[in-house]
Amino acid sequence: MKLAIKLAFRNLIGAGLRTWLNVIVLSFSYVIIIWMNGVMIGWEEQAKHDMTNWQIGGGQYWHQTYDPYDPFTLAESHAPVPYELSSEVEKGEILHMLIVQGTLYPQGRMQSIAIKGIDPNQTILSQPTHKLDTVVDGIPAIIGAMMAHDMALQKGDRVTLRWRDANGTFDAATVIIVDVFASNVPAIENGQIYIDLQKLQEMTLLPNHATILTLRDSKVQTAETDGWVIKSKDTLTKSVDDLIQTKTAGLSIFYFILLLLAMLAIFDTMVLSIFRRQKEIGTYVALGYTRHQVVGLFTVEGAMYSILAALVGAAYGLPFLAWQAKAGWTMPIDVSELGMAIAQTLYPVYSLGLVVTTVLIVVLTTTIVSYWPSRKIAKMNPTEALRGKIQ
C-alpha cells in the first residue's frame, strides 16, 4: 500500500495541469458544502437562541384552549394561575402573561391586534418591559419594530385602544407608545401590543388570570396541571427544526450536482489515463503485479485527488470560513417580512463532525468513481497491454 501511494502521488504530480484542475474543482466542493451547512447550523442556533430570549424562555404552559393561530380562541383562553405554580410566579421563576383580543386605531385606521399583559419587572424575556412603569397621560405600552413600521407608529405616539372585558362590554382608552423594540422573532412583534399585566387584568375584569406561563429554566421539572398544556422548549422550536430540515434537503440536490460535476471530471480523467497508460499497466503485470494490485494502484491514484483537494481547500477555505464565522453573511433581502425567526446577518457555525463527514463523503465518492473505470484493467491481456492495445 505504501508503494502504491508513492506511485500514485508521483503519477498525479507528473500529470501537471490536468491534476491541479481536478483538485481545484473538487476543493470548491469541500468549501461550499461546509460553508452552506455551516450557515444552516448557524441559522438554527441563532433562531433557537432568539426564540428562547424573546418568546419561549425555558418552556411554557398554555391554557388548554389557546391557539396562537386562531385569535377567536383568545376570549376563552385564560384562567387563574394554578395554585401549585403560584410560588414560582411570586419568585419570578415563571412569567404569567394574559392575552386578549383588541383593536387599535392608528391615524383613524382600524387594526385587530393581540393585547399582551406582562409584568414590567420580569427578567425572563428580553422585551424592555421596565418601560411600562413610565408615567404618562394614558396607558404606557411597548410594541415591536415590525408593527411600528406596518402601522406607521413611533415612540411617543398616542393611539386609541379598544377591548372587551370578561362580561362582554367594550371599552376604550388612550395608550402611549413608550418604547419600540427590535428583535429577530416576528411572532412577538406582528399585530400585538404589550401593556402592564395588572392594568390589563383590571381592564378585562380578570384578576390573576393568565393565558401563557413561561418558565425561566428549561431543566425545571414540569408537572401536569388541570386546564394547562405543557409545551417543552423542543416542542416550541420544532417549527425551526422542520424548516432547517426542509432547507437542508433542498440544498442536498445542489450538493449532489456539485459533486456530480467534480466526479465526472475525475471519471473522464481516469478513463483517459488508463487508455494512455496501457504499456505501463502491462509492465506492472509483467513485473509480477496481480491485476487486482494494478486496479488498486489506479484506484488509490484517483482517491488521492480528494486528499489533495482537501489540502488545497484548507489553504484558502480556512481563512474564508473563519472570516465568514466572524463577519457573517448578510442576507440580500429584508428578512423581516418572511415571518420566521431569522436575523438579517447569519453567522455560520462549523463543527468537527461537519468537516469530517464532508471529507469522508467526498473521499469515499471519489474512490468509488476511480474504481469504476479501473475495473477494466482486470480484464486486460498483459501481452496486448505491452503492445499498447486493449483486448
pLDDT tens profile 147-191: 998 899 999 999 999 999 999 899 999 999 999 998 888 889 888
30 plus 151 within the same structural domain: no
- Across the range 306-328, mean pLDDT stands at 90
Could you say which of 174, 198, 231 is where a domain stops?
231
Does residue 352 sit within a domain? yes
* Ranges 203-212, 252-261, 288-297, most confident: 203-212
Q: Grid coordinates in use for 92? A: 419570578
Q: Burial code of 320-342, b = ≥16 C-beta within 10 A, e = fewer?
A: ebeebbeebbeeeeebbeeeebb
Does residue 123 sit within a domain? yes
**Nearest alpha-carbon partner for 192 in 130, 152, 120, 143:** 143
Q: Is the pLDDT of residue 387 over 60?
A: no
Does residue 171 sit within a domain? yes
165 plus 262 within the same structural domain: no
85 plus 166 within the same structural domain: yes
Residue 316 confidence (pLDDT): 92
Does residue 20 sit within a domain? yes
Residue 323 confidence (pLDDT): 93
16 plus 88 within the same structural domain: no
Residue 255 confidence (pLDDT): 83
- Residue numbers of the domain that contains 243: 2-52+239-386
Does residue 391 sit within a domain? no
Instruction: Give the pLDDT confidence of 53-62 residue by residue, as tens digits.
Output: 999 999 999 9
Could you say which of 231, 255, 281 is where a domain stops?
231
305 plus 193 within the same structural domain: no
Higher pLDDT, 11 or 345: 345
- Label residue 288 left, alpha or beta by phi (over 0 means left) and psi (-120 to 50 means alpha): left
9 plus 73 within the same structural domain: no
224 plus 76 within the same structural domain: yes
Does residue 257 sit within a domain? yes
Number of H helices, E strands in the chain: 11, 13
* Ranges 124-128, 283-287, 355-359, most confident: 124-128
Does residue 100 sit within a domain? yes
Q: Is the pLDDT of residue 288 over 60?
A: yes
Domain count, the chain: 2
Residue 9 confidence (pLDDT): 66
33 plus 102 within the same structural domain: no
Instruction: Give the pLDDT confidence of 91-105 residue by residue, as tens digits.
Output: 889 999 999 999 999
168 plus 252 within the same structural domain: no
- Percentage, residues of the chain above pLDDT 90: 36
Query: Are the C-beta atoms of residues 81 and 95 closer than 8 Å to each other?
Result: no
161 plus 105 within the same structural domain: yes
Residue 285 confidence (pLDDT): 67
Strand partners, 171: 163
95 plus 200 within the same structural domain: yes
- Percentage, residues of the chain above pLDDT 70: 84
The radius of gyration of the chain from alpha carbons, rounded to an integer in Å, stands at 32
Q: How far apart are CA 306 and CA 21, in angstroms?
A: 12
Could you say which of 209, 231, 253 is where a domain stops?
231
Q: How far apart are CA 208 and CA 226, in angstroms?
A: 17
Instruction: Give the pLDDT confidence of 219-244 residue by residue, as tens digits.
Output: 766 677 888 999 988 899 888 888 88
256 plus 372 within the same structural domain: yes
- Across the range 294-322, mean pLDDT stands at 85
Given pLDDT bands bounded at 50, 70 and 90, which one contains residue 269? confident
